[in-house]
Structure 1
Amino acid sequence: MSGDHTAELRLTTPVIDRWARVLAESHRVTRGHNAGWIRVEIEDRTDAQMFLSLVSVALKANQEHEAGHR
């Protein structure tokens, strides 16, 4: 998490593509600098809760992604 209250999260490209509309509607989520990553602006408690939910999704997505590359 950088000093400007922005966090980056590896959500994976398939999840980002599947959730594109929902992520775009939040207005706090943008594509990250690299494929499969997102940036989340965290300004208040609701943003933090959304980020924690996305961390849970990211953990599952990355486990599945890694399992598929073995």
Structure 2
Amino acid sequence: MFLDRDTAEEAAEEVVGRFALSGEPQLVRDALAGEDDAEDAQWLVVVDDPDGRLDASAFAAFAEEHEGWLEEE
């Protein structure tokens, strides 16, 4: 999860190459509960990993490089 759209877009572009993803990640705006202001939104870069082959700690480190954090389902 990232605090602004620009950072999320940059991370979405970079994550494909860094982790050799077969598909494009989805960029999703996550508004905070009760907030209508777009500046209060957080941005998610959603990566599908149905086989569980990707390393969560590597994704967490990647997110931290972009001042974000990892949220798992």
TM-score of Structure 1 vs Structure 2, range by shorter chain = 0.3 to 0.5
TM, length-normalised to structure 2: 0.38
TM, length-normalised to structure 1: 0.39
Q: Which has the higher helix share?
A: 1
Q: Which has the higher strand share?
A: 1
